[in-house]
Amino acid sequence: MNFEVDKIRQDFPILHQQIYNRPLVYFDNAATTQRPKQVIDALNKTYTEYYGNIHRAAHFLADKATEAYEGTREKARNFINAETREQIIFTKGTTESINLAAFSFGEAFVQEGDEIIVSEMEHHSNIVPWQLMAARKGAKIVMLPIDNDGRLLIEMLEQLITKRTRLIAVAHVSNVLGTINPVKQIARIARNNGVRIFVDGAQAAPHLRIDVQDMDVDFYAFSAHKMYGPNGVGVLYGKTELLEQMPPYQGGGEMISEVKFSGTTYNELPYKFEAGTPNISGVIAFGAAIDYLRNTGIETVAAWEHELLSYATAALNQIPGLRIYGTQAEKSGVISFNVEGAHFFDLGTMLDKFGIAVRTGHHCADPLMDHFGIQGTVRASFAFYNTREEIDRFVDALKKVIAMF
């Protein structure tokens, strides 16, 4: 495909450096992506031109900051095709979005003896908040298993759903396997059974077109730092009828309507869920990241990353003793693997000496590691600024490292 990756790379200052005298190859994008200068400039501009505390302000700087902050809300709404801006709640990341949803949904809708279905391939961030809520409410967590290709056993879902099931929590894209889950289909099954669905979109929002209305999901969460934006910013999308019935997650400024010692009333959506001074500059700069992704074109991004995935998979499959985890067809640009006779941690540490940044370990997905009977993997994850030449360098370095064992 014809993609001007060199032009894109010019926008990312951090990529142009040597690590241990070798050109940096950054393949840790599933953990966090790098930022283009447009995002860095937006952050800089906020601090140098119009920083002030947002909402309820009577002065120019605060007004401008409020306008820019709320401008990002509209961009985020548009990015996932939510119906209204009230459905976009800013958090500090996917993890906080899930904690918010689990707490508040639990308070409003979960009773003792109820059940929450959570898939086996989830990141700990989409397991533990549900466990905490379940422990508080006397509810039960039920696991939806995967097969050995890393595919969710959707056909088991209807059997797992009971009269007590309240919600299904599932990742749109697995951070370990790269599996793209059929969220629309899962949402349909959930809806037909009167069950709600929460989707962890942390690994999908940077790589796929997201349409929450088309998928018809109840909740969707993602993080700016995995989408070329600042860290410390995330989004929780929720259906209005649910958000309205859910109590606040935290108390403090912004989320109130009126405070009296005799009782407090809460602000309207989305402010009911945004207590305290938020990450103002981060949210504003996130707007620049969304613009950047849109201007590049999410379909273009997806197509290029798919090419990189196919190219890297073919090359890695040539290496004797290398096993890739996550081999189903619908997959995003993540490759987790192990090599017989070599520990993943040693592989990662030695690749680093070749200037290649990968991640090693359990990737915050212990149940998934247990499924495959492993402690961890090496994970290479791609972004649209990566190139085939970088994959060549990575594969070449990996072969050299393996030869040392």
Contacting positions for ligand PLP (CB under 6 A): 31, 93-95, 123, 125-126, 171, 175, 200, 202-203, 223, 225
Determine the 3-state secondary structure of 398 from DSSP.
helix
Q: Please identify, using beta-carbon distances, which residue of 126 and 336 lies nearer to ligand PLP.
A: 126
- Say how far apart CA 191 and CA 7 lie, in whole Å: 44
What single string gives the DSSP state of each residue in 247-309?
A: PPSS-SSSSEEEEETTEEEEPPTTGGG--S---HHHHHHHHHHHHHHHHH-HHHHHHHHHHHH
Determine the 3-state secondary structure of 67 from DSSP.
helix
Q: Please identify, using beta-carbon distances, which residue of 365 and 401 lies nearer to ligand PLP.
A: 365
Q: Please identify, using beta-carbon distances, which residue of 75 and 225 lies nearer to ligand PLP.
A: 225
Work out the number of other CB atoms within 10 angstroms of the CB of residue 126.
Answer: 28
> Which residues touch 283 (CB under 8 Å, ≥6 apart)?
69, 72, 73, 90, 233
- Say how far apart CA 107 and CA 8 lie, in whole Å: 45
Helix (H) or strand (E) holding 322: strand 322-325
Min dist. Cβ of residue 381 to ligand PLP (A): 9
Min dist. Cβ of residue 177 to ligand PLP (A): 10
Q: Euclidean distance between the first and final Cα of the chain, in Å?
A: 37
- Say how far apart CA 316 and CA 296 lie, in whole Å: 28
> Tokens 């690749």 belong to which residue?
351
Min dist. Cβ of residue 382 to ligand PLP (A): 14
Work out the number of other CB atoms within 10 angstroms of the CB of residue 240.
Answer: 14
CA atoms within 13 A on the CB side of 103: 11
Min dist. Cβ of residue 121 to ligand PLP (A): 9
Min dist. Cβ of residue 28 to ligand PLP (A): 10
Cis peptide before 230 (omega within 30 of 0): no
Min dist. Cβ of residue 183 to ligand PLP (A): 13
Beta bridge partners of 263: 260
Reading the block at residue 340, the tokens are: 């017989």
What is the crossing angle of helices 60-80 and 280-296, to 10°? 40
Q: Please identify, using beta-carbon distances, which residue of 75 and 92 lies nearer to ligand PLP.
A: 92
Min dist. Cβ of residue 370 to ligand PLP (A): 17
Give me the catalytic one of 15, 364, 368, 397. 364
Residue 175 phi, psi (nearest 5): -75, -10
> Which residues touch 273 (CB under 8 Å, ≥6 apart)?
89, 100, 104, 236, 243, 248, 249, 255
Q: Please identify, using beta-carbon distances, which residue of 202 and 378 lies nearer to ligand PLP.
A: 202
Q: Is 219 tagged catalytic?
A: no
Q: Please identify, using beta-carbon distances, which residue of 207 and 225 lies nearer to ligand PLP.
A: 225
Which sequence positions are flagged as catalytic?
364
